[in-house]
Amino acid sequence: MKQQKPVIILFGPQGSGKGTQGKKLTEKLNIPYLETGQLLRNEIATGSEDGKRFASYMDKGNLVPPEDAIALMSKKITQAVSDKGGAVIDGFPRSAEQAKGFPEDINLTHVLLIDLEDKESIRRLSARRNCPKDKKIYNMITNPPKNNETCDDCGTKLVQRDDDFPKAIQQRLDVYHRDTEPLIERYKKMGLLHRINGMPSIEEVEKEIWKIFE
């Protein structure tokens, strides 16, 4: 397998900007962006039995079973690294069990943790809207559409994700603190962890992250 580029895991609570910053990194480094939540939502959109099962966990803000996440993501990571030499991975692993399922032959190079307080996560996620057609993401506070709740590019009415409502947001944050946060220590011990404050503007956070790769 040819791995010449970084393989990066993004950590951080919901709304910390992993998606926004992850996509910027993939453009700069020219490697694929693997967003676990979106890959699972793609499966739901096909209407398959697997998709229906995933939705029953995700709508409530719970993780899908670890064996499903591991099967999906180890395949995607291996493929991305062998095709493009690296990857930015958002949303995997999310538990100690999943971390054990990270492909052994892949050399993980960076773990970026974007820190954010729960109060700010809830504020940001409650304001998030998506275009169901082209998947563009808006935020009614920081990045609103030009016209009242419609997509700037295609005019489609924006929607809120099923798990971006207060009860599911709180559950996702609880799962993050309980299952995902303990993993941070593991990557710190491995010398791979970089901690970034997620509170400043998108541009400032982008600059902080880029310092690591320059």
For residue 203, the minimal CB distance to ligand AMP (Å) is: 23
For residues 73 and 209, which CB has a smaller minimum distance to ligand AMP in the complex? 73
Tell me which residue of 117, 135, 108 sits closest to 35, measured CA to CA. Answer: 135
Name the residue nearer to ligand AMP (CB basis): 4 or 125: 125
Nearer to ligand AMP, 164 or 208 (CB): 164
Question: Measured in whole angstroms, how far is the alpha carbon of residue 117 from the centre of its chain?
Answer: 17
Q: Smallest distance from the beta carbon of 61 to ligand AMP, in angstroms? A: 5
Closest approach of ligand AMP to the CB of residue 2, in Å: 26
Least distance to ligand AMP, CB of residue 62, Å: 6
Cβ proximity to ligand AMP, 67 vs 149, nearer residue:
67
Contact residues: ligand AMP, CB under 6 A:
14, 36-37, 40, 57-58, 61-64, 69, 91-92, 94, 98, 163, 172
Residue 5 CB, nearest distance to ligand AMP (Å)? Answer: 22
Residue of this chain nearest to ligand AMP (CB atom): 37
Which residues, in sequence order, are CB contacts of 23 under 8 Å at separation 6+? 33
Of the two residues 6 and 180, which places its CB atom closer to ligand AMP in the complex?
180
H helical segments located in the chain? 18-29, 36-45, 49-58, 66-84, 96-100, 118-126, 166-175, 183-189, 202-213
Q: Which of 164, 62, 175 is nearest to 123 (CA)?
A: 164
Write the CB contacts of 63 (distance below 8 Å, at least 6 apart in sequence).
Answer: 57, 69, 94, 95, 175, 179
